[in-house]
Structure 1
């Protein structure tokens, strides 16, 4: 009964928990597989890590995304999942799980693209060959996205409060200064690529431009491919007698609901999430569930 119970719990978990579980599951499969079959993790993942070669990417285009779920070292996945869980909760407080996935996936994509471009354009990488793994670029995208969208949100750090944008800026600058000396310059470039995407996405979204909508539509299309088609039963159609005034009232109620959500989001952008009253937090939470 344990396996079905775990499957049910996974199904009922939110998107953030599912992302972490998938990353951990892939990590265990890779490490246990390499142990039992006496092969290197690189051998098991050679089709899914991101190469610095354009030719290899043309053969394995999915690697621009799949590398973001692969980790070899325990500390590597540990810190990535801690940051993912911490910043991901702020995203879910304001947005749907679908948007969290969008930022994660596209953050990995743009982080990977900058990694590949750096290895092929910058002379400093001319004598190096490498591959990219890890969720760092995707996690950095989530971190910068929420820090740019709600910069004044404050979190408690020991005895004082600190704003999200201060944390994100410190971590981003820390990555930048480590590029020449870390020995993992390619990985740092992926962080930068994810951060740039997260920032642009947040700024455009605040202006009303959802540049990630196309990816959400693409995910919906993929999901619909695996949904069984139900045969529609024959039904007799009757002319509706619903008064026009009732329909108009429903539309008015929806617009009032959306105006209240927008007002709360504006308040978060100006004063931070902690400035909300309990009633506003409850209303925003229920609104997110309805979406």
Structure 2
């Protein structure tokens, strides 16, 4: 029982990235438990996959409409969930350096939704998938992760990673390679998965652009349906102390100018290049 209690405590105290990882792992374990029970009672199927993965046909989707989201938590292969959760851990933690945890959850769910829509539309309207339609389905967290990855790459394209044997690589380069690999692999064995990844990536790109471009307002209605209030994209840091906000307009303008300079520096060179004074200043402003 102490192990279960420890997991519960870690889940409660964890970030939204860690909670999503725990949920995906939990569903993965349940999938295999149901698979074993099904074998023992001679049931040719699995309750989790039968009811929560997204079918390619419109008829199948209409009978199980919740699968447009639930498929994003289902994995049936160890390597599939391993690579997805490693990607979620790294891009998710980078994402919450700039955005709120609520926004990450919105990206994950709505990226999954858009990935599912692209999958359904592609399989029902492109002739290439006619023969595969009745036996195809979609599962996995990759569409939601693609939305998070491309979203943060759109917001901070010049953020740099130092890769072994390669050197510094900008975030937008990695995101572009990510999307390109999905595109060129569409004719392969996992066409639906790659199409869903592109759908999630498209959502991440358009959502971030919506933050500064009021002409794109389509996503606001969708967010209302999910009861998710979109906040302005901003850097958030936790702090135990609260400071009084500056009252004069000139002081506010000076503070905002300093914040803008620091954020521009982060977008070009990464958070680690900030001085200790700049990190401390940004840390305090995150709670205002």
1:154 and 2:146 correspond: no
> For residues 205 and 283 of structure 2, what CA distance do their matches in structure 1 show?
24
Structure 1 residues 189, 42: CA separation in 2 closer, same or farther (over 3 Å shift)? farther
Where do residues 34-45 of structure 1 align in structure 2 (5 Å cutoff)? 34-38=35-39, 39=43, 42-45=46-49
**Root-mean-square deviation (Å):** 3.0
Moved more, 169-178 or 71-80: 169-178
Q: Secondary structure at the match of 1:72?
A: coil
Task: Tell me what 2:274 maps to.
Answer: 276
Task: Tell me what 2:238 maps to.
Answer: none
The Cα offsets for residues 210-260 of structure 1, whole Å up to 9 and x where unpaired, read as 8766666666679xxxxxxxxxxxxxxxxxxxxxxx999399877766665
Scaled by the length of structure 2, the TM-score of the pair is 0.81
1:86 and 2:87 correspond: no
> For residues 52 and 42 of structure 1, what CA distance do their matches in structure 2 show?
18
> For residues 33 and 218 of structure 1, what CA distance do their matches in structure 2 show?
32
The Cα offsets for residues 100-119 of structure 1, whole Å up to 9 and x where unpaired, read as 11111111010110000000
1:175 and 2:182 correspond: yes
1:119 and 2:123 correspond: yes
Give 1:95 deviation, angstroms.
Answer: 1.1
Give 1:40 deviation, angstroms.
Answer: 5.8
Task: Tell me what 1:196 maps to.
Answer: 202
Instruction: Say whether the 8 Å CA contact 1:50–1:64 is kept in structure 2.
Output: yes
Give 1:52 deviation, angstroms.
Answer: 1.2
1:6 and 2:7 correspond: yes
Instruction: Say whether the 8 Å CA contact 2:34–2:46 is kept in structure 1.
Output: no
> For residues 123 and 114 of structure 2, what CA distance do their matches in structure 1 show?
14
Q: Which runs of 4+ in 1 moved over 6 A?
A: 208-211, 250-256
Instruction: Say whether the 8 Å CA contact 2:34–2:47 is kept in structure 1.
Output: no
Give 1:11 deviation, angstroms.
Answer: 0.6
> For residues 24 and 153 of structure 2, what CA distance do their matches in structure 1 show?
24
1:47 and 2:51 correspond: yes
> For residues 228 and 204 of structure 2, what CA distance do their matches in structure 1 show?
24
Structure 1 residues 127, 175: CA separation in 2 closer, same or farther (over 3 Å shift)? same
Task: Tell me what 2:28 maps to.
Answer: 27
The Cα offsets for residues 178-228 of structure 1, whole Å up to 9 and x where unpaired, read as 111x21111110011111111111222244778766666666679xxxxxx
Instruction: Say whether the 8 Å CA contact 2:106–2:228 is kept in structure 1.
Output: no
Which runs of 5 or more residues in structure 2 are unaligned? 230-243
> For residues 221 and 150 of structure 1, what CA distance do their matches in structure 2 show?
23
Task: Tell me what 2:146 maps to.
Answer: 140
> For residues 4 and 124 of structure 1, what CA distance do their matches in structure 2 show?
50
Moved more, 27-36 or 112-121: 27-36
Q: Secondary structure at the match of 1:128?
A: helix
Structure 1 residues 179, 60: CA separation in 2 closer, same or farther (over 3 Å shift)? same
Structure 1 residues 218, 17: CA separation in 2 closer, same or farther (over 3 Å shift)? farther
Give 1:156 deviation, angstroms.
Answer: 1.6
Instruction: Say whether the 8 Å CA contact 1:151–1:272 is kept in structure 2.
Output: no
Scaled by the length of structure 1, the TM-score of the pair is 0.80
Q: Secondary structure at the match of 1:156?
A: strand
> For residues 65 and 45 of structure 2, what CA distance do their matches in structure 1 show?
20
Instruction: State how many pairs are aligned.
Output: 266
> For residues 64 and 218 of structure 1, what CA distance do their matches in structure 2 show?
14
Where do residues 260-275 of structure 1 align in structure 2 (5 Å cutoff)? 260-275=258-273
Which runs of 5 or more residues in structure 1 are unaligned? 223-245
